[in-house]
Amino acid sequence: MAPPYRLAIHWFRRDLRISDNTALHHAAAGAKAVLPVYVLSDWKKSHLWTGEKRQIFLCRCLESLGKNLDSIGGQLIFRSGSAAAELENLVRETGADAIFYNQDPDPFGREAEKRVEAMAKRLGIACHGYHDVTLHGPDEVLTQEGKPYRVYTPYSRNWLSLRKPEPYSRPRALHTPSGISSLALPTNAHWKLSDPAADLVEPGERAAHQRLKTAIAERLGTYGESRDIPSVPGTSRLSQDLRFGLLSPRTIYAQTAVAMAKSNSANARSGMEKFIKELAWREFYMALLWHFPNVLEEEFNPDWRGLWWAEPGEDFEAWKQGRTGFPIVDAGIRELLATGFMHNRVRMITAMFLTKDLHIDWRLGEQFFMQHLIDGEIASNNGGWQWSAGTGADAAPYFRIQNPWSQAKRYDPDGTYTKRWLPELAKVAPEKLLAPPKDGQPIAPGYPAPCVDHSAERDRTLAIFKKHRRQ
């Protein structure tokens, strides 16, 4: 039976891979030829949440994707501008009779999809959108009343009970026609980006699969014990691969499940189970954003809307520079600025410090993280910030206020992580990194004294929340 379409456009977005790609799989199966397209945007004008390091990584991933497509008879076409307008131009130029794409979970991507679908309907061509970015769509995991969950634990129980979809096969050939005009492969110069930092993660699908292999072989078995220790490689480091679709969640789940089944160690299986539950957290936050897109503008918990926040000033600038005088906080920010990454435990510490010790609006921290994280994921970032601020779904209660000194003592007791990112503290005794200086003076030349007193600011936070609750 002949494929129903003559030429299908595959609109690449955050699915920069050829293996286990839902829309690409269906496009290759349903059309005689496939035209892969990526539509570039003027990133500095697109949104305040777009970051330079993430764009550098994107450029390099697109280069890798282009080579992978070449290997199966494809050619990645680049256009720039509105996705709907540029895809319409391609339809008119090539006579394409179908568009395939994987759906974006955030509101901005969904708006672009609506415009593309309207364009396809107007032109009388087929348009197929597929769920691909999570194992289960936002309408698959619902309460018995058919409503979205607002608390993680019952969501995760339901999520874990569902049968997981199998990975899709890789297309054998795309047969992309020649002679289609394309912009050049985007480079750092295209977006006027600086040179990539030395510590940027290796881009591309092949590198992502190697990271998954390493994670399963060396990290996930001890994930339960080591994931919170920032000085050791105890996390999966797959977050950017999920963000850009270098790996699918189906592939990650399937390979982890195989490793669990083969393992003779109960401890290793437990570590892998904890990792899988982190995939559920990711999907919980994506489902929340899907059902409650207002969380990008306001607190999820209506009880805390209108909460007082301090005007950002010198303390906020110190936080953004890693100069607060709280070593574990500053180390996290310096790691972020240098590499585009921050350990997850330290993300929680720095976020709660900004909102509970400096009383700065969580939205400002959310934006700062998105501007610097290579793995910046709108849903997870928003969920994490609202959790730390005490305003989100299933958030830490407002009276849970982490002490950055005790957090350092618990998770970086010898200062290995802190000293890695704060070289000015390299010769400071570890115990001095775990408690405020008794004399209020800096613990090393060139390093600031603590900008606030944690105990006093904790009391102030409690008073702010209690006052708001009484109003």
Tokens of 156: 């995760």
Return the CA Rg of the chain: 24
Helix (H) or strand (E) holding 351: helix 344-352
**Residue at token pair 């944690």:** 454
Which of 49, 159, 281, 290 is catalytic? The answer is 281
Pairwise CA distance, residues 444 & 253, whole Å: 46
Q: Is 102 a catalytic site residue?
A: no
Which of 362, 387, 405, 421 is catalytic? The answer is 362
Listed residue (255, 146, 180) closest to 211, CA to CA: 255
Q: Is 308 a catalytic site residue?
A: yes
Pairwise CA distance, residues 381 & 3, whole Å: 41
Pairwise CA distance, residues 142 & 284, whole Å: 11
Q: Is 362 a catalytic site residue?
A: yes
Pairwise CA distance, residues 87 & 280, whole Å: 34
Measured between its terminal Cα atoms, the distance across the chain in Å is: 68
Q: Is 191 a catalytic site residue?
A: no
Listed residue (360, 286, 342, 324) closest to 449, CA to CA: 324
Side-chain-side CA neighbours of residue 338 (13 Å): 15
Q: Is 421 a catalytic site residue?
A: no
Q: ∠108-68-79 over CA atoms, to 5°?
A: 45
* Long-range contacts of 67-72, Cβ-Cβ distance < 8 Å, separation of 24 or more: 68/17, 68/18, 68/204, 68/205, 68/206, 69/18, 69/36, 69/174, 69/176, 72/18, 72/170, 72/171, 72/172, 72/173, 72/174
Which of 93, 308, 317, 431 is catalytic? The answer is 308
Compute CA 242 distance to the chain's CA centroid, rounded to the nearest angstrom: 7
Q: Spell out the residues 6+ positions from residue 366 whose beta carbon is closer than 8 angstroms to its own.
A: 381, 382, 385
- Going from the C-alpha of 204 to that of each of 66, 410, 471, the distances in angstroms are 10, 36, 52
- Going from the C-alpha of 374 to that of each of 83, 238, 281, 303, 370, the distances in angstroms are 23, 11, 19, 33, 8
Which of 278, 298, 424, 457 is catalytic? The answer is 278
- Going from the C-alpha of 248 to that of each of 238, 253, 366, the distances in angstroms are 11, 9, 25
Which of 191, 385, 405, 421 is catalytic? The answer is 385
Q: Is 278 a catalytic site residue?
A: yes
Which of 158, 344, 424, 457 is catalytic? The answer is 344
Listed residue (146, 343, 147) closest to 334, CA to CA: 343
Pairwise CA distance, residues 106 & 14, whole Å: 11
Catalytic positions, written as ranges: 278, 281, 308, 344, 362, 385
